[in-house]
Structure 1
Amino acid sequence: EEDADDLVRDFQDEYQGQYNDEEDFAYEIIEECYELPDFAKTYFDYEKFARDLFMCDYWFDDGFVFRAA
């Protein structure tokens, strides 16, 4: 059985931040995790990348992004 400390810890582990939409989050992931040259970023499909991220790994609710547990 989870206690309050476990719930807070789970929230802190899963909470990723607040974003305008799923694509905004995907853009930040690309900026932070990948070293794409500027010219390549103009060709990158952030919408499709976001769709893939939110299929299983993350969920979005009212501007908040969480990592799927």
Structure 2
Amino acid sequence: MLQIERARLGGDCLWTGCLPSKALIAAAHAPDAANHSGRPTTLASSAAAFRTAMASVDRAIQTIAPVDST
């Protein structure tokens, strides 16, 4: 059976499921990991923290998409 993606290649796992959720979890842990490493950290507003986390998710998707969709 031949399957054809209706929208973007890569499917749910790449665009809305597995990869974005894992990247978001990693972004959420980053400030805590930095805090425990002894590096100075600053508290950001929730909106700024969300934008930073989502930018990390977008970078992960853009890194994987070219090789996942081939």
Q: Which has the higher helix share?
A: 2
TM-score range, shorter chain: 0.3 to 0.5
The TM-score with structure 1 as length reference comes to: 0.34
Which structure would you say has the larger Rg? 2
Q: TM-score, normalised by structure 2?
A: 0.33
Could you say which structure has the higher strand fraction? 1
